[in-house]
Amino acid sequence: MIEEDLQPLLQKAFFYLKFRPRTKGELENYLLKKIKTTHWSSDDVKRIIVHLEELEFIDDKKFIQWFVEQRSLLKPKSEFALKRELFQHGVNKSMIDEYFSANPLDEEDLAFKTLQNRWQRFQRLNKMERFKKASQFLMRRGFGFDIVKKTIEKLEN
């Protein structure tokens, strides 16, 4: 149970968690910014985070799964790009590697689906320009050149 003095800080944490799932690192950074002008300490922030972990409001493993599912549906990216984004969100690198070794992505299929949605835009371009635009699009999403080449060849045929 959190003492009375920490309730406002706990409310700030709940407010931040209201919009989407968060990582432990994101929440910690948010709360540390909030306490700069208050009487709370970083130990208080740690107690709040431990409390929220016990209540299962923060779980980096669930966050990774949620994040990868959301990205695969809305803005598909390569495994490399997803790992980088997750790391930027404050997820532990070993946890990220563990998730992807247990749940590998089919990058060729992901690249195909991603480009298939954009292929109509590239149809009116000549073959060279179409290859250039399509490959740049996929490479911005983190896909390697060999996957990019295979995907474009599939869509050309």
For residues 115 and 150, state if they share a domain: yes
Q: Is 117 within 8 Å of 126 (Cβ atoms)?
A: no
Q: What is the pLDDT of residue 3?
A: 82
Query: Using CA atoms, how far apart are residues 34 and 32, in angstroms rounded to an integer?
Result: 5
Nearest to 138 by CA among 129, 130, 147, 125: 147
The pLDDT tens digits for 118-145 are: 899 998 999 999 999 999 999 999 999 9
Residues across the chain: 157
What secondary structure letter does DSSP report for 4?
Answer: G
- The answer to whether 35 and 45 have CB atoms below 8 angstroms apart is yes
Residues 123 and 137 in one domain: yes
What is the number of structural domains in the chain? 3
Over range 39-60, report the average pLDDT: 93
Tell me which DSSP letter residue 44 carries: H
Same structural domain, 112 and 152: yes
For the chain, what is the mean pLDDT?
Answer: 93
Give the domain range for residue 34: 4-54
Does pTM surpass 0.75? yes
**DSSP code at position 103:** S
Residues 65 and 45 in one domain: no
Backbone angles phi, psi at 40, to 5 degrees: -75, 155
How far is it, in rounded angstroms, from Cα 108 to Cα 144?
A: 10
Domain CATH number, residue 116: 1.10.10
Q: Specify the pLDDT at position 90.
A: 93
